[in-house]
Amino acid sequence: MDGSVQLEMRFGAANYAPMPVTLARGKGIYLWDENGRRYIDMMGAYSAASFGHCHPRLVQALTDQARQLDTVSRAYFSDRLGAFLGRACALTGMDQALPMNSGAEAVETALKAARKWAYKVKEVPADRAEIIVCDGNFHGRTIAIVGFSSVPQYRDGFGPFPAGFRSVPFGDAAALRAAITPNTAAFLVEPIQGEGGINVPPPGYLAEVARICREQNVLLICDEIQSGLGRTGKLLACQHDGVKPDAVTLGKALGGGLLPVSLFLARRDVMQVFKPGDHGSTFGGNPIAAAVGLAALNTLIEENLIERSARLGAHLLARLRAIRNPIIREVRGRGLFAGVELERDLASAATVARRLLQAGVLTKDTHRNTVRFAPPLVIEESEIDWAVDRVAEVLDEFARADVHP
């Protein structure tokens, strides 16, 4: 065990159990450990590294801005924020945007906006607003958000939780309709559930829930923090169903893998419930974040990374689905956002992920005993082939050895 790991384990809280590798350098889709061994990154930092590691254009934007102006707080205007917000609104079709840092902060902003909109615009009685979420959701780690999680560990020991949330099955539009009451403010949904196991809803699901929300005067808020910004082969995953939500949360890839940048974007009447002093963030929208965020959006479009994701994602899913192995239960995904669910009584996804690490492939297990794949959008077809070949080899090892969880 090297010194850096010993220090991290001694002084760091034990809220993570890292894979047994110490990473020291990254470039593009590759990472190197402290001994110089190279790995292909098939996880992409949960979509945060969508542009690859240390993308020269994004690093340049970061360093240029850091030399010019850093954080001045939103108490003043800066010469960088307006262009960033304008570009984000133009691309997503939203009217206004509110910058934050982490994805969880963007979701918390969305929850506050939905509740205040319910009281000020929809005229829901005070303190009665409800927000509907989905079983298997993952929207962050704050007290409010884990309070409506369906994962027991995320809730254990952190109550009491804020009221005003109810959960329905993911992919079931009829269940949403049945759950709506006159006090329902919003429906918060991931177009594809990432942490839940790369769960893809039935075709037309989002279009149907959008219609229901319009009929019932309920806000549709799409959490695109993992699934957005080209990850699924569209700018936003909800666009696969032709849906324009009332509000969107973005994060992860928005910071180019370099720093936390997030946005809550919405139509004007939703955003205008916020008045000066209602909400804020010391670092949200700082000049460096705005410069990197704008560069990330421009890079996404100008390097045709959305189209790459659609094309290469189809190849990734086809290659994964072509693996013939009894350990595989199901392959799910869209674009460069894929999950391979394993038969629980035959193999543990966590054990498979550790063996893939030894084979030079970085990934991670997630819920439903699923191994996730979300590589940087700059990956090449030949690199996908190399990684999938390693996956097939590792799964063959497990099948031959009859390895059990």
Structure tokens at 39: 């790995």
Cβ neighbours of residue 348 closer than 8 Å, sequence gap 6 or more: 342, 365, 369, 404, 405
Cβ neighbours of residue 239 closer than 8 Å, sequence gap 6 or more: none
Q: Would the CA dihedral through 79, 85, 87, 90 be positive or negative?
A: negative
What residues pair up with 340 in beta bridges, in sequence order? 331, 371
Q: Is 147 helix (H, G, I), strand (E, B) or coil?
A: helix
Cβ neighbours of residue 359 closer than 8 Å, sequence gap 6 or more: 390, 393, 394
User: Residues 96, 102: contact at Cβ < 8 Å?
Assistant: no
Length of the chain: 405
If we measure between CA atoms, which residue out of 270, 335, 372 comes closest to residue 45?
Answer: 372
Cα distances (Å, whole numbers) of residue 96 to 43, 210, 224, 249: 31, 20, 16, 12
Listed in sequence order, the DSSP H helices in 226-364 are 268-271, 287-302, 305-321, 349-358
What residues pair up with 262 in beta bridges, in sequence order? 100
Q: Would the CA dihedral through 83, 87, 93, 94 be positive or negative?
A: negative
Q: DSSP letters of 357-393?
A: HHTTEE-EEETTTEEEE---TT--HHHHHHHHHHHHH
Phi-psi map region of 256: left, alpha, beta (phi>0 left; psi -120 to 50 alpha): left
CA 396 – CA 155 distance, rounded (Å): 37
Assess whether 385 carries a catalytic annotation: no
Q: DSSP letters of 53-113?
A: BT-HHHHHHHHHHHHH-----TTS--SSHHHHHHHHHHHHT-SEEEEESSHHHHHHHHHHH
Assess whether 252 carries a catalytic annotation: yes
Pick the catalytic residue from 84, 138, 148, 337.
Answer: 138
Assess whether 70 carries a catalytic annotation: no
CA 118 – CA 322 distance, rounded (Å): 48
Pick the catalytic residue from 187, 252, 264, 274.
Answer: 252
Pick the catalytic residue from 41, 172, 223, 365.
Answer: 223
Helix (H) or strand (E) holding 205: helix 205-216
Catalytic positions: 138, 223, 252
